[in-house]
């Protein structure tokens, strides 16, 4: 089961997307390839699962066959024996060549964020920002992977998204989805089909942290490609916004909010990557722009197929593509021009390649509309089938819509202006007053930056207004704009520093005059990581860092005198051998986890889903007294609690007739009801039953109250009737 679960993860997050990128011949760089593989795999799997379910063949055997075919195709694409290994990237490339290219990529990506010398204070700060961001992301990965006891525990993740995934895995269309799209549940269902068990959630939960990580990687890659610190600050600010607005537990909880943010920012990421690097360097026609737009259009479709809020991003996608890829924005800088204003030149170091994000504007030119229209049409064709099907199901089938409830009922009678005030209260509580002021100032300053202006005016501001008036019952609904707000804040902060530096330079001083020398003091005593014998431009001395600390490309020496034969053979061996090590490790690790062990661990962790306090009270009562009958409840997590799920009788508390239909069933002896989110008629009905002595309160906590039906004293009633007859 363990190895099958790992194969499911490879299918969900990597293999289909990798094959798609190879077949489309789109090269995005290392980070771009990771982001593209992940997002495109999810989109391809969504349509694969939907097609297999519609044809009734969504079974393990079929999925195994698809996976084996993809693995074979991957092997064919990565092994080419007809060309020299050094010229063809693949499994037959020598390890030395792989390491050389990796070192060259690291140097080209990070060189502009290293200081020119120890007196380069802005350079030291650039390096500090880069190291802080990288450390933050490494810490996030460790936090999500080192703690393996992770299953779905949050409300909607259990009762909605994961439940729908289980119904997909049963080779059927999920029920009760409302108008929610199913890209995420369809992908989660692959893990259940691979392991042939819907009761083990570890492998489905394991992919959820990748959405947040992919979003941060996209922002980091933009910073490295554009050489702008504002994007690196955007990584940090986006992470803070994720924690402030969504809370830490919702980053990988199984909700669709972070996934929709990943697809939304991924759409703009590919547009900006095409603007900066121009994916086809030899061509400048519409073909290269089509290659840029193709993954962006697919991600826009994926955004709308993840959650309904993604429809807004899909709607403005043509506008974003036109503004990003229009001729005035993609024109390169002239020879000798600087990329940024002189006042902050140290923070935006000059590099040989032009930076279109800071380029002078020229005429828009012609010929850009056709590929944009084609990309928008492609996104529409991918989005439309699901939403058309749901509208048909709602009108003619057994589907339903909860749009009216989300727009009116869930707001508890608040008017439009009261919702706006309530939205302000939620943001103030999430961000704190100083944080709200900071975000407001930086977002306002971001309007000066061409990319920040698009983010704020087209995405952040409109979606915030829509949320304030329509969906301000939960801050989770703002998830889509969080990466855009974080990046805009980073760019806005740099624009603010630029304005301050200009003001100070006009007065004969500089912002860096008071910069602490702590980094320099630390670097002066730092030993060289490259050892003796490294000399030349950008050298790093053995006893410390002197002169400039901008390293040259990493090189590998295969000298007979310096290296032994085992070392030489290892570096000349095909890189495909490196795959044997993780495969061997996974086989050994998988042998330690039997299906019984995984099932037992799942059952133990499943007792924590929902509200832990309510669960503990229920299990304590069950141990001491036991439940003699079923429990009518709107605590839907009860259906997934081990030992207690057999007592669950789900009921609705929105109206009295629906509640009484479940509660007055003779097989029901208890009622576990929310204390506040309940219809007034249902609350009055229970209160009157308590006053008549028909119901008693077993326990209550902050949110829920457990009632027990009391049996009527039938024996005493019969005795009193007999005595009355005798007197007569």
pLDDT in tens, 33-53: 889 999 999 999 999 999 999
Q: What is the DSSP letter of 252?
A: S
Q: Are 320 and 401 in contact (CB under 8 A)?
A: no
Please say if the pLDDT value at position 414 is more than 70: yes
pLDDT band per the 50, 70, 90 thresholds, residue 28: confident
Q: Residue 224, Cα to own-chain centre: how many angstroms?
A: 21
- In terms of phi and psi (left: phi > 0; alpha: psi -120 to 50; beta: otherwise), the region of 363 is beta
What is the rounded CA–CA span in Å between residue 151 and residue 157? 10
- Mean per-residue pLDDT, 552-556: 41
Q: What is the DSSP letter of 359?
A: P
Higher pLDDT, 189 or 561: 189
Sheet strand arrangement including 630-633: 648-650, 630-633, 668-674, 704-709, 695-700
* Residue 387 three-state SS: helix
Please say if the pLDDT value at position 347 is more than 80: no
Residue 701: its H or E element: none
SS (HEC) of 61-80: HHHHHHHHHHHHHHHHHHCC
Q: Are 266 and 299 in contact (CB under 8 A)?
A: yes
Closest by Cα among 680, 663, 617 to 644: 617
What is the rounded CA–CA span in Å between residue 431 and residue 247? 11
What is the rounded CA–CA span in Å between residue 75 and residue 67? 12
- Mean per-residue pLDDT, 178-183: 91
SS (HEC) of 649-696: EECCCCCHHHHHHHHCCCCEEEEEEECCCCCHHHHHHHHHHHHCCCEE
Structure tokens at 712: 């009527």
Q: Please report the sign of the dihedral spanned by the C-alpha atoms of residue 123, residue 126, residue 131, residue 134.
A: negative
What is the rounded CA–CA span in Å between residue 625 and residue 607? 19
pTM (2 d.p.): 0.83
For the stretch 433-457, pLDDT in tens is 888 899 999 999 999 998 999 999 9
pLDDT for 561 equals 44
Torsion of CA 306, 312, 313, 314, to 10 degrees: 80
Please say if the pLDDT value at position 140 is more than 80: no
- Mean per-residue pLDDT, 236-262: 88
- Mean per-residue pLDDT, 289-316: 91
Which residues on adjacent β-strands are paired with residue 331?
none
Please state, for a pLDDT cut of 90, what percent of the chain lies above it.
38
Tokens 């007569």 locate to: 728
- Mean per-residue pLDDT, 180-205: 94
Higher pLDDT, 630 or 85: 630
Q: In 196-309, where does DSSP find H-type helix? A: 202-206, 209-226, 229-241, 257-277, 286-304
Q: Are 537 and 552 in contact (CB under 8 A)?
A: yes
pLDDT for 371 equals 85
Q: How many CB atoms lie within 10 A of CB 94?
A: 17
- Mean per-residue pLDDT, 514-520: 49
Q: What is the mean pLDDT of the chain?
A: 78
Please say if the pLDDT value at position 507 is more than 90: no
Tokens 């890189």 locate to: 575
Tokens 């994926």 locate to: 302
pLDDT band per the 50, 70, 90 thresholds, residue 348: very low
Q: Which of 94-98, 586-590, 703-707 has the highest mean pLDDT?
A: 703-707
């Amino acid at each position: 089961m363990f190895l099958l679960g790992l194969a499911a993860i490879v299918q969900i997050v990597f293999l289909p997307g990798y094959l798609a990128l190879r077949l489309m011949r789109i090269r995005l760089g290392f980070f771009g390839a990771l982001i593209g593989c992940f997002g495109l795999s999810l989109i391809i799997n969504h349509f694969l699962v939907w097609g297999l379910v519609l044809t009734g063949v969504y079974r393990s055997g079929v999925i195994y066959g698809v996976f084996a075919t993809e693995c074979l195709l991957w092997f064919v694409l990565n092994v080419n024996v007809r060309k020299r290994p050094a010229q063809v990237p693949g499994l037959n490339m020598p390890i030395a060549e792989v390491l050389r290219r990796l070192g060259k990529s690291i140097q080209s990506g990070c060189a502009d964020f290293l200081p020119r010398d120890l007196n380069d204070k802005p350079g030291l700060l650039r390096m500090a920002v880069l190291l802080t961001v990288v450390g933050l992301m490494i810490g996030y990965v460790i936090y999500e992977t080192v703690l393996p006891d992770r299953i779905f525990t949050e409300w909607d993740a259990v009762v909605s998204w994961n439940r729908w995934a289980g119904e997909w895995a049963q080779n059927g269309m999920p029920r009760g989805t409302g108008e929610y799209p199913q890209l995420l549940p369809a992908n989660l269902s692959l893990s259940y089909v691979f392991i042939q068990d819907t009761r083990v959630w570890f492998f489905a939960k394991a992919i959820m942290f990748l959405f947040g990580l992919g979003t941060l990687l996209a922002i980091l890659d933009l910073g490295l490609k554009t050489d702008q610190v504002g994007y690196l600050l955007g990584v940090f600010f986006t992470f803070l916004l994720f924690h402030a607005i969504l809370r830490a537990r919702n980053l990988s909880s199984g909700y669709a909010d972070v996934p929709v943010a990943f697809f939304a920012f991924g759409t703009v990421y590919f547009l900006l990557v095409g603007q900066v690097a121009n994916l086809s360097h030899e061509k400048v026609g519409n073909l290269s722009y089509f290659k840029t737009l193709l993954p962006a259009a697919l991600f826009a479709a994926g955004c709308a197929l993840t959650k309904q809020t993604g429809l807004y991003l899909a709607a403005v996608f043509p506008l974003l593509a036109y503004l990003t890829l229009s001729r005035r924005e993609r024109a390169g800088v002239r020879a000798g021009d600087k990329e940024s204003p002189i006042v902050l030149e140290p923070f935006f170091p000059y590099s040989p390649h032009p930076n279109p994000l800071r380029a002078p504007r020229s005429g828009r030119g012609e010929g850009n509309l056709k590929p944009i229209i084609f990309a928008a049409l492609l996104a529409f064709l991918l989005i439309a089938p699901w939403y058309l099907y749901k509208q048909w199901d709602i009108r003619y089938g057994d589907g339903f819509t909860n749009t009216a409830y989300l727009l009116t009922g869930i707001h508890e009678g608040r008017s439009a202006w009261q919702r706006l005030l309530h939205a302000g209260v939620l943001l103030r509580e999430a961000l704190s007053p100083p944080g709200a002021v900071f975000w407001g100032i930086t977002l306002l300053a971001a309007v000066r930056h061409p990319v920040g202006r698009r983010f704020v005016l087209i995405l952040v501001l409109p979606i915030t207004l829509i949320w304030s008036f329509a969906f301000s019952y939960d801050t989770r609904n703002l998830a889509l704009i969080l990466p855009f707000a974080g990046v805009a804040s980073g760019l806005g902060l740099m624009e603010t520093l630029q304005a301050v530096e200009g003001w100070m330079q006009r007065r004969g001083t500089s912002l860096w005059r008071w910069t602490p020398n702590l980094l320099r003091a630390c670097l002066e005593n730092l030993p060289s990581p490259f050892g003796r014998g490294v000399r030349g431009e950008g050298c790093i001395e053995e006893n410390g860092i002197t002169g400039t600390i901008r390293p040259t490309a990493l090189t590998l020496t295969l000298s007979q005198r310096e290296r032994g034969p085992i070392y030489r053979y290892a570096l000349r061996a095909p890189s495909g051998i490196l795959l044997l090590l993780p495969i061997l490790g996974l086989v050994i690790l998988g042998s330690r986890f039997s299906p019984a062990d995984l099932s037992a661990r799942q059952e133990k962790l499943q007792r924590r889903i929902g509200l832990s306090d309510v669960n503990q009270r229920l299990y304590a009562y069950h141990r001491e007294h036991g439940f003699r009958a079923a429990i009518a409840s709107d605590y839907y997590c009860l259906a997934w609690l081990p030992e207690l799920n057999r007592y669950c009788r789900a009921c609705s508390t929105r109206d009295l007739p629906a509640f009484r239909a479940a509660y007055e069933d003779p097989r029901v002896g208890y009622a576990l009801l929310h204390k506040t989110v309940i219809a007034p008629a249902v609350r009055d009905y229970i209160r009157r039953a308590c006053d008549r002595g028909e119901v008693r309160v077993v326990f209550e906590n902050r949110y829920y109250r457990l009632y027990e039906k009391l049996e009527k004293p039938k024996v005493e009633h019969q005795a009193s009737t007999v005595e009355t007859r005798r007197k007569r």
